[in-house]
């Protein structure tokens, strides 16, 4: 058994983890302050994220591109072998992480659209 890592698996993991950064940036303008208020934390310091609001569509495009890249490497062109370590498949772990990242992105992207319907 060799400990070489498959470059396709590394690309899938890198793009999945990379999509979490734009997803976080998408949610900084709206979701962050609401969560802090819910837990009783002062939101005065979060105004530093207000200048990022005009770039929100760019962050969303970046996140969708990275998620698409991860999807391609995990489902369209998956590795040709099953890498199993300690009884766990790395491919299954990366696919689970991909869907978690996709769900977080959808929650962050749709938050400003859905929230007004609950409070109107």
Cα-based distances in Å from 71 to 49, 77, 82, 107, 113: 30, 9, 17, 18, 25
> What is the pTM for the complete model shown?
0.61
pLDDT value at 3 more than 60: no
Confidence category of residue 99, pLDDT binned at 50, 70, 90: very high
Give 85: exposed, middle or buried? Use CB within 10 Å, 0-12, 13-18, 19+: exposed
pLDDT value at 4 more than 60: no
Average pLDDT over residues 52-74: 88
pLDDT value at 115 more than 80: no
Confidence category of residue 12, pLDDT binned at 50, 70, 90: low
């Amino acid at each position: 058994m060799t400990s070489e890592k498959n470059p396709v698996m590394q690309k899938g993991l890198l793009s999945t983890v990379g999509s979490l950064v734009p997803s976080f940036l998408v949610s900084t303008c709206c979701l962050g302050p609401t969560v802090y208020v819910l837990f009783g934390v002062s939101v005065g310091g979060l105004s530093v994220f207000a200048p990022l609001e005009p770039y929100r569509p760019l962050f969303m495009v970046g996140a969708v591109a990275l998620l698409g890249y991860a999807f391609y490497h995990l489902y369209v062109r998956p590795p040709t072998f099953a890498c199993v370590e300690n009884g766990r498949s790395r491919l299954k772990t990366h696919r689970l992480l991909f869907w978690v990242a996709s769900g977080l992105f959808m929650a962050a992207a749709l938050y400003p659209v859905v929230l007004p319907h609950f409070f109107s």
